[in-house]
Structure 1
Amino acid sequence: MEITTKRTLNVLLILSWIIFVGVCVEAGGFIVNAFFALVNPAVVKHLWHETDLSALLQYNTGYFFAEMLLMSVVAVLKAWLFYLIIKIMHDKNFNLVQPFNKEVRRFIFNIACITFMIGLFSWWGVKYTGWLVGQGVAMPDVQYLRLGGADVWLFMSVTLFVIGQIFKRGVEIQAENELTI
């Protein structure tokens, strides 16, 4: 059985849907738990994935909500990233006859910007968490807060920007070839 591009794209679409749903649930979990913390601070010990931020809430409510905001922003950006992936696959903007087109170039630049923002907010969250630990607040590891890996996201954004520039040049060459024929 031969693995075709169409079959591979269908498998990737299914995986993208699964990841998208998971990241949406995670983002919703962070946001909803932040609001539950307003109503009943006792639930903070049982936040999303048992991430105990009760020491931070007792230390300062504003710092707690800043940390929750950073965690939520990173999760929402990840969901947005997979939304764009699903959208371009559903819209069938992949023209394999002429892969260098404006829609794909715009898509690559959009996901490059989103991955850069994920890296930036993750880095900010790690630094903020480190600052809170320096203030004497007991904090879980940044991996449990879903803020780790900022360097990987930033590296991926640079890689995507380079690929986006290649696609931009490919669109220009394709347009020049169409004009000369």
Structure 2
Amino acid sequence: MKTDTKTKQILQVMHVLTWIAFIGLMIEAGAILVSYAVSCVNPEAVKNLYKDLNLEELREFSFWQYTMSVSFLVAISGMKAYVLFLVIQALSKVNLENPFTIEVVLILEKISYNLLGVWIVAVINNRQTEWLLRRTGITSETLAAEEFIFMAGLVFIISQVFKRGVEIQSENDLTV
């Protein structure tokens, strides 16, 4: 019984921490969007876009390339926030007495697909940054992409284990 309450406490702490991270990523995406909007009106704001990110040289080269770079940053932050939102949903659906449910399996699969999407967007951003560097010598923000494909695979495997758990659980319910 003691481990049950400890597991419950750990899940509750993880739920709170996930909410905090979710809110932080939503604020980050919003801050990038607002600073981009300000930089469209006031070009001087490009020098300190977000967290001392200076894309002035890129904006001077091409407003379109600048907009694409900022769009990738907003997309990544938003997609990561959505993944955390799905984690919040999964944590709220977990029932320790009956942990294997189809709802949790579906949420875990959504998480893995969205992590795959984050990886794809990060790879596209990095390719665009490499292209810009080769063509113009201008550097832009590169994003770490490798961990997202790893996490997507890991979460997908966990979802398949949960799916098998649902099958076994339903077989046991039928035999009782």
Same fold (TM over 0.5): yes
C-alpha displacement at 1:138, in angstroms? Answer: 2.4
Distance in 1 separating the partners of 2:31 and 2:82:
16
Q: As a proportion of its length, which structure holds more helix? A: 2
Q: Unaligned stretches of 5+ in structure 1?
A: none
**One-letter amino acid of the structure 1 residue matched with residue 46 of structure 2:** V
**One-letter amino acid of the structure 2 residue matched with residue 29 of structure 1:** A
Distance 1:48 1:39, change over 3 A: same
Which ranges of 4 or more aligned residues in structure 1 deviate by more than 4 Å?
none
Distance in 2 separating the partners of 1:31 and 1:87:
26
Contact 1:55 1:137 in 2 (8 A): no
- The percentage of counterpart residues that share the same residue type is 31
What is residue 161 of structure 2 aligned with on the other side? 166
Aligned-pair Cα RMSD in Å: 1.7
What is residue 80 of structure 2 aligned with on the other side? 78
TM-score of the pair, normalised by structure 1 = 0.89
Contact 2:90 2:108 in 1 (8 A): no
Q: Deviations over 1:130-153 (max 9, x none)?
A: 1111112422452xxxx22x1110
Distance in 2 separating the partners of 1:53 and 1:135:
16
What is residue 65 of structure 2 aligned with on the other side? 63
Distance in 1 separating the partners of 2:118 and 2:141:
18
**One-letter amino acid of the structure 1 residue matched with residue 131 of structure 2:** W
- Paired residue total: 174
**Equivalent position SS for 1:135:** helix
Q: Deviations over 1:73-123 (max 9, x none)?
A: 00000111111222333xx31111121111110111111111111111111
Q: Unaligned stretches of 5+ in structure 2?
A: none
Aligned pairs for 1:81-120 within 5 A = 81-89=83-91, 92-120=92-120
Distance 1:153 1:110, change over 3 A: same
TM-score of the pair, normalised by structure 2 = 0.92
**One-letter amino acid of the structure 2 residue matched with residue 125 of structure 1:** N
